Structure 1
Amino acid sequence: MKIAVLGAGKMGISFSRSFLKFELIKPENLHLITRRKENIQQLEQQFPGSKVSDFLGVSTVDADLIIVAIKPQDFQFVAENLKFRLNESQMILSIMAGIKIKKIQHLFNHKKVVRAMPNSPTLLGMGITGYTAAKGISFVDLMQIERFLNSTGRSVYLENENLLDGVTALSGSGPAYFYYIVDAMIKAGTEMGIEKNLAELFVKQTMLGAYHLMNTSDKSLEELIKDVASKGGTTEAALQTFEENRLKDSLKKGILAAERRSKDLSE
């Protein structure tokens, strides 16, 4: 299978590396297309044996799958200035946030479109991607797409495209919420007199261990919390303060605000 990546930024490069790492494609069957001429030499060094082109210099693209990994705000310009045309057998996989299938089909004048929403841990092969597809995409084609997406972590197919706004808010933006909480914990540690590097070690290792315990335990989240929060103890004091300040409600409101913003952008 031949793949072209339109937009060789962080996410496009991440996907390309995963495909090559798991030998889903051969280097010679990968075509990276960048808008920045100054990046061509660096990309050629990073991807020996693969084709690297400047966006404005590409007149034909010999690929079965074209991954659109450009910034959403640049999409209309790119679509209107393409010098190559897609044929009916080619398939588009968009990983742009907020750009709906209908708009992609219209601007590319092409029906075979799959839309996906990955998150930043795909850079390490530990991401999760929600995806959906236009009508008429065959089961075989979807399984091929899922195979590629799973090389970057895990993937989940969604029948309803509108749910991708929720996926964007939950997992697409989710790593930032996690970092936000970690940052607050580290700063609390330094206020208690713990050196920053030690505070970071304690918090990061705690988060890592808690994740694995949560992922391997049969207990619910409420039960896991109770295991740590003994009656009248230190954890209970912290949790009571969180409840008094409606921390959980604030987090939920923030995530719902992200979903609303995603819907606004898609309009």
Structure 2
Amino acid sequence: MERIVVVGAGHMGSVIVRGLLDGVPGVEVVVVEPSADRRRSPDARAELTSAYDPRPDDLLILAIPPQAFDSFADSLPPGACARATVVSIMAGVRLETLASALGTRTVLRAMPNLAARVGQSMTVLCPGDQVPRGGVERAKRALSVIGKVLVVQDESLLDAATAVAGSGPALVAYLARSFTDFARGAGFDAADALLLTSQVLRGTADVLAEPGVTPESLYQQASTPNGTTAKGIATLREHRVGESVGAALEATMERARELAG
């Protein structure tokens, strides 16, 4: 039986555990939570323990805060991760740091986002250059339980992924607030304003996922000359909204680089 060990019973760790138990039949899931204050089992089907007991060929998912990594690595016996495939979702901890601290070159970094809780994460996965194809596929399969997975070979792309995918839901939610505020100001109640906005976002995302559709083709298709949508797009351009969003993403990416050292 395949064994997947999730270190960290916080929000993202718990989401991954539930996804594995529901979406990967026959897998043995172990949850490691060193903190007695936070120790809990996200699902009774998972084994809960306070320390990692290594076994050969584990898939080890590190869902702990970056500041807890040194303590976790120091607690391991020598060679504990030598035959494991290690997937880190810790922001800013580079592949070389993971490999050096854990004593293995079979390390991957992943950047999921908060949509994981509804099975719609956009996770970007980057393997180290010595991870075999089977290890990449195993990690991708495990993370697919929380949404889509995109594999990239260039670790520097994870900083951009942090901006677009990691922080993206929060940035989109910030913009969505303008829609709900407008709807409420026009007379809709809070629940209906949120329904209008969330369904517009959901439907737009589904259309953008269709073959051959791009953001530009979609808004051009929706715009008739001198029509309502064309007026709205023109106003966004006048206020340089596109440039402002780009600047926000650039700032987010630079901050990700700073945190990684």
Aligned to 2:48: 52
Shift of 1:219: 4.2
Aligned to 1:36: 35
Name the SS of the counterpart of 1:76 in structure 2: helix
Give the distance between the partners of 1:214 and 1:134, measured in 2 at CA. 31
Is residue 2:137 matched to residue 1:143?
yes
Is residue 2:126 matched to residue 1:132?
yes
Shift of 1:97: 1.1
Superposed CA deviations along residues 196-249 of structure 1, whole A, max 9, x for unmatched, are 222212222222222223323644432321232222232222222211111000
Shift of 1:148: 1.2
Give the distance between the partners of 1:156 and 1:218, measured in 2 at CA. 19
Letter of the 1:47 partner, please give it: D
Give the distance between the partners of 2:92 and 2:52, measured in 1 at CA. 28
Aligned to 1:123: 117
RMSD: 2.0
Aligned to 2:72: 78
Letter of the 2:55 partner, please give it: D
Kindly report structure 1 stretches of 4+ aligned residues shifted beyond 6 Å: none
Name the SS of the counterpart of 1:216 in structure 2: coil
Shift of 1:136: 2.1
Change beyond 3 A, Cα 1:91–1:210: closer
Name the SS of the counterpart of 2:54 in structure 1: coil
How do 1:45-194 residues align onto structure 2 when only pairs under 5 Å count?
Answer: 46-54=42-50, 58=51, 60-62=53-55, 64-80=58-74, 82-85=75-78, 86-194=80-188
Give the distance between the partners of 1:234 and 1:137, measured in 2 at CA. 52
Shift of 1:253: 0.8
Q: Does the CA contact (< 8 Å) of 1:60 and 1:84 recur in 2?
A: no
Superposed CA deviations along residues 182-208 of structure 1, whole A, max 9, x for unmatched, are 111111122223322222122222222
How do 1:221-232 residues align onto structure 2 when only pairs under 5 Å count?
Answer: 221-232=215-226
Change beyond 3 A, Cα 1:52–1:225: same
Structure 2 unaligned segments of length 5 or more: list them: none
Change beyond 3 A, Cα 1:103–1:247: same
Aligned to 1:6: 7
Q: When the two structures are superposed, what TM-score results if normalisation uses the length of structure 1?
A: 0.88
How do 1:18-29 residues align onto structure 2 when only pairs under 5 Å count?
Answer: 18-26=19-27, 29=28
Change beyond 3 A, Cα 1:33–1:261: same
Higher helix share: 1
Deviates more, 1:88-97 or 1:243-252: 88-97
Letter of the 2:37 partner, please give it: E
Shift of 1:76: 2.5
Change beyond 3 A, Cα 1:32–1:134: same
Aligned to 1:236: 230
Change beyond 3 A, Cα 1:201–1:47: closer
Structure 1 unaligned segments of length 5 or more: list them: none
Shift of 1:83: 4.5
